[in-house]
């Protein structure tokens, strides 16, 4: 194998150039030196500028364009794989057999990956320009000769990222509540410190600092824009995706007693998983065999199935196939399947999806009746204002400056309206949504305001 070719490949992978490029090594060294300084100014680890793929992800973080950085990192990884395969095929096949290399589909794929990488690099550079408060014309220099702006921005005091001085005044990313919710014998207590994930060697906070106590008999609306962490929060509460948290339902720790308590929480997803070829009765009977205690007799299970069908108005369609049910009937059946074990906590993700106003209201009225039996109901819905009179409390999750889901409000509906200065729930969501998402961009303001209220 050609040692010179392999050495050049290693250099291209590590720093993006090789010995064949005139002045390639010193210019690339200047770029990496500059990125090291930029990462340090962004409170990131400077040495990560030396790691392929990681440097793209880190530059995205420094530029406030983290999603673009992750994609650029994956594209860089794809480009590296293409480079390695290209060298191996050339050495082991074309050169060994004395065949002249032609353009292949593989070469086209390589070009497409590199073009996509350039596009995402431009997006990242534009974000970096915005963070540093510079003119957009700088993007041309970053694309054509990044070895010039990188060391200037990275090491000269003249070039400073604006967010490092303004962040502490305006965002809630470093502002946390010291108030933990009380753990009582009845009701739901959630003290969530953090829920994290690792992406491209970097710890990412999905949720942080969420504390609340929900009394029995409360019907609670869960609000938040896209990416605010609503589903992640619900999965942490029901134990499906545990967080660094304490979740206590009626005096028992959910995480410590998950196997014993899993049927004390009913979770109804947006899409049902029922078999269309089963009847309504068969569907509920199967649910009863899975969810009811082993000590229940056949007669007791049958009695519970009949009781649940009466509660949800399913007796008239008892022997109908699931595939023949209307949208509203399918929703009621989905809820009935979870209700069969008589859970203390009900969680529903968009139960009114696909239903008209009348059918949706009837469904929520049934949920209100369940809550009035001493159950806790938590609901996500994208049309909250048409049924808001049926709810007691609202949870508002919002993304802080670091795009981490945080608690911007928990409490009664009327108090939420006064807190946000908004009458409608949809207006509250717009208030905390980022401006690029069509919102007012006031998430940090309300996160800090709510944390301060909790301290009082």
Q: What are the tens digits of pLDDT across the range 49-70?
A: 999 899 999 999 899 888 899 9
Instruction: Using the predicted structure, report yes or no on whether residue 199 has a pLDDT greater than 70.
Output: no
Least confident of 53-62, 179-188, 215-224: 179-188
Tokens matching residue 138: 């700088």
**pLDDT, position 5:** 61
Which residue, 85, 139, 77, 88, is CA-closest to 113? 77
Average of per-residue pLDDT values in the chain: 85
Q: Identify the band that residue 167 occupies on the pLDDT scale cut at 50, 70 and 90.
A: very low
Tokens matching residue 59: 């530059």
Considering only residues 137 and 402, tell me which one the structure prediction assigns the higher pLDDT: 137
Q: How many whole angstroms separate alpha carbon 216 and alpha carbon 250?
A: 9
Q: How many whole angstroms separate alpha carbon 303 and alpha carbon 340?
A: 11
Mean pLDDT for 435-449 is 88
Instruction: Using the predicted structure, report yes or no on whether residue 224 has a pLDDT greater than 50.
Output: yes
**pLDDT, position 47:** 93
List of E strands, 80-227 = 188-199, 202-214, 219-223
Q: What percent of the chain lies above the pLDDT cut of 90?
A: 45
Q: Which residue has the tokens 């509250």?
A: 428
Instruction: Using the predicted structure, report yes or no on whether residue 310 has a pLDDT greater than 60.
Output: yes
Q: How many whole angstroms separate alpha carbon 252 and alpha carbon 189?
A: 10
Considering only residues 258 and 210, tell me which one the structure prediction assigns the higher pLDDT: 210
Burial (CB < 10 A; 0-12, 13-18, 19+), residue 103, is exposed
Mean pLDDT for 434-453 is 86
Q: How many whole angstroms separate alpha carbon 348 and alpha carbon 379?
A: 5
- For 206, residues 6+ apart whose C-beta sits below 8 A from its C-beta are 195, 196, 197, 229, 232, 404, 405
Instruction: Using the predicted structure, report yes or no on whether residue 41 has a pLDDT greater than 50.
Output: yes
Q: Which residue has the tokens 């709510």?
A: 450
Q: What are the tens digits of pLDDT across the range 119-142?
A: 999 999 999 998 898 999 999 999
Instruction: Using the predicted structure, report yes or no on whether residue 174 has a pLDDT greater than 80.
Output: no
Considering only residues 9 and 77, tell me which one the structure prediction assigns the higher pLDDT: 77
Name the range with the highest mean pLDDT among 86-95, 157-166, 268-277. 268-277
Which residue, 24, 16, 25, 51, is CA-closest to 36? 51
Q: What are the tens digits of pLDDT across the range 327-348?
A: 888 888 888 988 898 889 999 9
**pLDDT, position 170:** 47
Considering only residues 3 and 38, tell me which one the structure prediction assigns the higher pLDDT: 38
Q: Identify the band that residue 165 occupies on the pLDDT scale cut at 50, 70 and 90.
A: very low
Q: Which domains does the chain have, with CATH numbers?
A: 3-170 (no CATH), 188-455 (3.40.50.300)
Mean pLDDT for 234-259 is 90
Q: Identify the band that residue 18 occupies on the pLDDT scale cut at 50, 70 and 90.
A: low
β-pairing verdict for 244-249 and 252-253: antiparallel
Q: What are the tens digits of pLDDT across the range 350-384?
A: 888 877 878 888 889 989 999 999 999 999 998 89
Q: How far is CA 204 from CA 61, 68, 241, in A?
A: 11, 15, 15
Q: How many whole angstroms separate alpha carbon 222 and alpha carbon 229?
A: 10
Least confident of 4-13, 21-30, 281-290, 429-438: 4-13
Mean pLDDT for 279-287 is 90
Considering only residues 25 and 249, tell me which one the structure prediction assigns the higher pLDDT: 249
């Amino acid at each position: 194998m050609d040692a010179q070719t392999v050495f050049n490949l290693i250099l291209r992978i590590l720093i993006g150039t090789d010995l064949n490029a005139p002045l390639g090594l010193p210019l690339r060294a200047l770029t990496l030196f500059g990125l090291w300084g930029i990462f340090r100014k962004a409170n990131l680890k400077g040495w990560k500028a030396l790691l392929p793929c990681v440097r793209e992800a880190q530059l995205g973080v420094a530029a406030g364009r983290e999603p673009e950085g992750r994609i650029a990192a994956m594209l860089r990884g794809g480009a590296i794989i293409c480079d390695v395969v290209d060298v191996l095929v050339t050495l082991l096949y074309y050169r060994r057999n004395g065949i002249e290399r032609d353009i292949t589909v593989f070469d086209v794929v390589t070009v497409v990956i590199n073009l996509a990488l350039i596009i995402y690099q431009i997006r990242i550079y534009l974000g970096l320009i915005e963070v540093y408060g510079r003119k957009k014309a700088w993007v041309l220099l970053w694309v054509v000769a990044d070895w010039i702006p990188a060391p200037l921005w990275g090491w000269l005091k003249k070039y400073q990222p604006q967010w490092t001085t303004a962040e502490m005044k305006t965002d809630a990313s470093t502002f946390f509540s010291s108030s933990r919710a009380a753990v009582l014998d009845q009701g739901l207590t959630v003290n969530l410190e953090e829920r994290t994930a690792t992406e491209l060697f970097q710890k990412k906070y999905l949720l942080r600092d969420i504390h609340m106590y929900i009394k029995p008999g409360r019907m609670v609306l869960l609000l938040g824009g896209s990416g605010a962490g609503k589903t992640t929060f619900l999965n942490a509460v029901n134990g499906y995706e545990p967080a660094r948290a304490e979740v206590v339902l009626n005096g028992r720790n959910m995480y410590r007693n998950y196997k014993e308590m899993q049927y004390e929480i009913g979770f109804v997803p947006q899409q049902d998983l029922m078999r269309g070829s089963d009847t309504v009765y068969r569907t509920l009977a199967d649910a009863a065999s899975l969810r009811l205690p082993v000590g229940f007799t056949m007669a007791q299970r049958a009695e519970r199935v009949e009781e649940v069908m009466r509660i949800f108005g399913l007796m008239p369609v008892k022997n109908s196939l699931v595939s023949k049910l209307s949208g509203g009937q399918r929703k009621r059946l989905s809820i009935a399947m979870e209700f069969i074990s008589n859970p203390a906590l009900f969680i529903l993700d968009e139960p009114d999806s696909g239903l008209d106003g009348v059918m949706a209201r009837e469904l929520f009225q049934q949920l209100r009746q369940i809550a009035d039996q001493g159950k806790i109901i938590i609901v996500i819905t994208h049309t909250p204002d048409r049924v808001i009179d049926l709810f007691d409390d609202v949870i508002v999750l919002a993304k802080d400056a670091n795009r981490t889901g945080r608690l911007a409000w928990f409490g009664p509906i009327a108090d939420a309206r006064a807190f946000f200065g908004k009458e409608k729930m949809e207006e509250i969501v717009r208030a905390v949504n980022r401006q690029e998402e069509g919102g007012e961009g006031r998430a940090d303001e309300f996160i800090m305001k709510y944390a301060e209220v909790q301290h009082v």
